Structure 1
Amino acid sequence: MVHWPEVMMTFDTTTGTLFSADAFGTFGALEGALFADEVDFAGKWLDDARRYYTNIVGKYGVQVQAVLKKAATLSIETIAPLHGPVWRKNLGWFIGKYDLWSRCEPEEKAVVVLYGSMYGNTASAANALAAKVAAKGVKVAVHDLSCIDNSEAVAECWRASTIVLAAPTYNGGIYLPAANLLEDLKALNLHDRTFALVENGSWAPMSAKLMAAKIGELKNCTVLDAKVTVRGRLTATQDAELEACAAAVAASM
Structure 2
Amino acid sequence: MTEPAESHSMGPFPATYRASVGKAQARTLRRGHGPVVAIDPDTNALENPFEEERADWEWMIIDTFGTRCHQVAYIFINHLVGLCGTTWNESTQRWIPDQDELTTVLHIVAANRPRNEAEAALAAQIAATHMIMMKVAKRAADYPWDTRTVGTFAKLAKTSAVQIGTMAGLKGKRRTTRQQINVVHEKHVHHHQHVHVGGAEKSEGQCDATRTGVRKLGGAGSLGECPALPGEDKAGRVVPLQGRAR
Question: Is TM > 0.5 for Structure 1 vs Structure 2?
Answer: no
Q: Relative contact order (C-alpha < 8 Å, sep 6+): which is higher?
A: 1
TM-score, structure 2 as length reference: 0.20
| Structure with greater strand share of residues | 1
**Larger of the two Rg values belongs to structure:** 2
